[in-house]
Amino acid sequence: MKKNSLVLKEALDIPYILNDLFINDKNDYKSIAKLINSKKIKYIVTIARGTSDCAALFSSYLFAKYCKLPTYSLPPSLITIEKSKFNFSHALVLVISQSGMGKDLIECEKQVRKMGAKTIILCNNQNSPMLKNSDFFLDIYAGQEKSIAATKSFTMTITIIIKLIFYSINQKNINDEILKLSEFLIKDKINQWSQNKINKKVNHGFIISRGVGLALANEISLKFKELCYELIEPFSSAEVLHGPKILIEKKFKLFVLQTNDKSGQIVSNNAKEIIKYTNLYYLISSKKNYNDKSFYFKSNKIFNILDSIYIMTKFYPWIINYSFSKNLNPDKPRYLRKITQTF
């Protein structure tokens, strides 16, 4: 561990924060679940930026898959710049923000309520101005996150989303499984992914996945950009076959995120068509000893959606140490600051 690295410490704290959630979580999932299951809500809208938007993409897939509610991401500029008006009388709007202080998101939450929406704020800041008038607040319980690069806040956000979804389909035992996962991750903390497997000289490539894996791939891609200055672009493994695969060559990184579900099987099949074009192929999978460039995660036999938490808990320390191995400083990514104002 790099001495005094704040971002690495925050990433390594994730298993303990997950463990504390079992005791500390006072979120009112029951009331939100009741609303979701009522005939009043016809669709879900998400509003977020950056890492939080990757969490929003994650939530979109789960709401559609488990709650049968169509979900779409609303670009904040439609409200802040275009001043668009919508009939949101049957909409549940999720505003996701680690800091809860972005002016554009504050304005969006205010306006969508005027348009008739019910709003949920997923946030790590109990003093966010958005909480004064929103219908619901889901604390992500990440604790203070000082680093510019969000790590524990993303993992905790998707954890809270998972809990909300499974409470909505009356599978509250998800809470016990999250506790078991956290206990396992604490015991398994010595087994971190090795950054030495990755070629440091090539700074471009793809990360492909599908389903919830694609949302994780978007966040992984963002961290490659923020912390390692590498352009690793996220793609659906289906979409990459429609044209982008033409960019793949021998010196081109290809990461394949294979979740342990139906989507993961399709990703595996899609990947077979393109891995032959590069010498830099890396697999994130629940299959052990696949090759010397694979990164293993232990799949949950009861709720494989919890694999997402496992993957990100292992990924963050890995990408931070990889950044250090490139002689970069992940605690001070150039040009960036904690709260970005885009309004």
| Whole-angstrom distance, CA of residue 305 vs CA of residue 70 | 19
Give me the CATH number covering residue 269: 3.40.50.10490
Residues 40 and 150 in one domain: yes
Residues 285 and 209 in one domain: yes
> Tokens representing 124?
């790590």
| Domain ranges, residue 299 | 195-325
Last residue of a domain, one of 154, 187, 220: 187
Q: Confirm whether 165 is domain-assigned.
A: yes
Residues 169 and 227 in one domain: no
Residues 39 and 95 in one domain: yes
Pairing of strands 294-296, 280-285: parallel
Residues 163 and 292 in one domain: no
Residues 181 and 257 in one domain: no
Side-chain-facing half-sphere of 149: CA atoms under 13 Å: 30
pTM: 0.96
Pairing of strands 118-123, 280-285: unpaired
pLDDT of residue 291: 63
Last residue of a domain, one of 168, 187, 206: 187
pLDDT along the chain (343 residues), means of 10: 86 98 96 94 97 97 97 96 97 95 94 98 95 96 92 98 97 95 97 94 96 98 97 95 90 96 92 91 85 87 95 98 96 78 63
Q: Confirm whether 98 is domain-assigned.
A: yes
Q: How many separate domains does the chain show?
A: 2
Q: Confirm whether 206 is domain-assigned.
A: yes
Residues 127 and 28 in one domain: yes
| Whole-angstrom distance, CA of residue 308 vs CA of residue 160 | 12
The contacts of residue 167 (CB under 8 Å, 6+ apart) are 29, 30, 32, 33, 174
Q: Confirm whether 107 is domain-assigned.
A: yes
**Collapsed DSSP state (helix, strand, coil) of residue 94:** strand
pLDDT of residue 254: 96
pLDDT of residue 290: 57
